[in-house]
């Protein structure tokens, strides 16, 4: 439908001028497209109950709370900023739909021990792949951050990485181990500053999916039975820093967490705290 496509183009244009990240832009447009298809492209029937009906449908389909919340935020943005629909249909309380975000299950992160990290790295024969995993763990990088690293992001002298356009489009500085300085130096010596640090065989950077496959393969070969993912590397190092006594505020800054409560979840999986507690049995 032409009108629906025009709405989506207007949404994309508004998101671009507000400097939303490409990933968020694509996600919002996709969510709104599915919602518009659900209502047959007729924005005149949009109201709070219609949106809740759609949310319930998403939940019935088994969508995760995080995914449902993304739909809610995208639809709310569309209603408030593109079609300007009021919640009562009479122009009052303009654009305000009181739809709360879905509560996510209180699930603790999967954390690997230091020995398990070493075990995973030891089974990776490809030197570049091993460096990718070691750097992700040692510099607490998200998978999207490690695959987008450029040569210019590294400072060998100060052992730092300047992450530009990280999550929420906030730059941050993180560290890397001196043990990796030589391997990193060998890669960046003959490259230009804008070149990808981890290049794919076809040219350009690696995909996040490729990095995830590299981790999954190493985990399987290591024989470790934990339900770990690539993001477990980041969870693990944050936990290990806490166990070493690093101030949680520093960890929050290094991880790039906007809220300290996000960082505090690692206090619940600290092994040395649990070890100090004796069972009364």
Task: Just list the catalytic residues.
Answer: 142, 167, 231, 234, 257, 266
Residues, the chain = 281
Neighbours of 172 (CB within 10 A): 15
Extract the tokens encoding 103.
Answer: 């509560």
| Tokens 């490690």 -> residue | 146
Neighbours of 131 (CB within 10 A): 19
| Contact (CB, 8 A) for 133 and 218 | yes
Extract the tokens encoding 35.
Answer: 């919602």
Provide the CB-side half-sphere exposure for 137 (13 A, CA): 24
CA proximity to 234, closest of 265, 199, 207 = 265
């Amino acid at each position: 439908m032409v009108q629906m496509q025009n709405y989506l183009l207007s949404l994309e244009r508004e998101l671009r001028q507000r400097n939303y990240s490409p990933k968020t832009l694509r996600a919002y447009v996709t969510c709104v497209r599915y919602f518009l298809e659900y209502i047959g492209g007729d924005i005149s029937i949009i109201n709070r109950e219609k949106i809740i009906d759609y949310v319930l449908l998403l939940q019935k389909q088994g969508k995760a709370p995080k995914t449902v919340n993304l739909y809610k935020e995208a639809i709310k943005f569309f209603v408030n900023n593109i079609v300007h629909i009021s919640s009562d249909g009479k122009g009052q309380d303009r654009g305000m739909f009181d739809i709360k975000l879905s509560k996510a299950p209180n699930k603790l992160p999967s954390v690997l021990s230091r020995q398990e990290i070493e075990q995973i790295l030891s089974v990776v024969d490809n030197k570049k792949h091993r460096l990718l995993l070691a750097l992700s763990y040692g510099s607490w990088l998200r998978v999207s951050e490690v695959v987008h690293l450029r040569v210019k992001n590294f400072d060998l002298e100060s052992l730092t990485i300047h992450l530009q356009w990280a999550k929420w489009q906030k730059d941050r500085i993180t560290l890397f181990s001196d043990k990796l300085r030589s391997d990193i130096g060998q890669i960046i010596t003959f490259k230009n500053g804008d070149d990808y640090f981890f290049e794919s065989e076809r040219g350009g950077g690696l995909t996040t999916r490729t990095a995830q496959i590299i981790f999954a393969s190493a985990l399987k070969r290591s024989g470790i039975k934990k339900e770990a993912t690539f993001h477990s590397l980041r969870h693990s190092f944050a936990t290990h820093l806490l166990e070493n006594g690093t101030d949680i505020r520093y960890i929050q800054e290094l991880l790039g967490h906007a809220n300290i409560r996000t960082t505090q979840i690692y206090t619940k999986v600290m092994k040395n705290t649990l070890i100090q507690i004796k069972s009364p049995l």
